[in-house]
Amino acid sequence: MKALWNDYMKDTVIIYSTPNCHYCTMAKNLAEQRGCSVEYKVFGKDFQKEDMFENFPGARTFPQIIFNGQKIGGYTALVEMLTNEV
């Protein structure tokens, strides 16, 4: 039962990345190290340009990250979210 509760309480991170993106990989590694549930999407494979414009109309860089359902921005924003927890 405790394992199920811990899975339920995990932070959820969705990372929109591009192939060979160093900051995308760093974001994925950080989220995994912090015990988050991670969904890693790669441009051209898991999403296309149209999806990006629809979901992140103002974005100009990668990664673009959704943390617990909230669009937070890129790698630096994820670091802040995961290191400033109460």
Is residue 48 classed as helix, strand or coil in its secondary structure?
coil
Does residue 9 fall inside a structural domain? yes
What is the tens place of the pLDDT at every residue in 17-76? 999 999 999 999 999 999 999 999 999 999 999 999 999 999 999 999 999 999 999 999
Number of domains composing the chain: 1
Does residue 39 fall inside a structural domain? yes
Does residue 41 fall inside a structural domain? yes
Does residue 83 fall inside a structural domain? no
Q: Which residue segment(s) compose the domain that 31 sits in?
A: 2-78
Distances, alpha carbon 1 to alpha carbons 4, 7, 32, 80, in Å: 5, 10, 22, 31
Cβ-contact 61, 38 below 8 angstroms = no
Is residue 29 classed as helix, strand or coil in its secondary structure?
helix
pLDDT of residue 1: 43
In CATH, what number is assigned to the domain containing residue 10? 3.40.30.10
**Residue of higher predicted confidence among 86 and 35:** 35
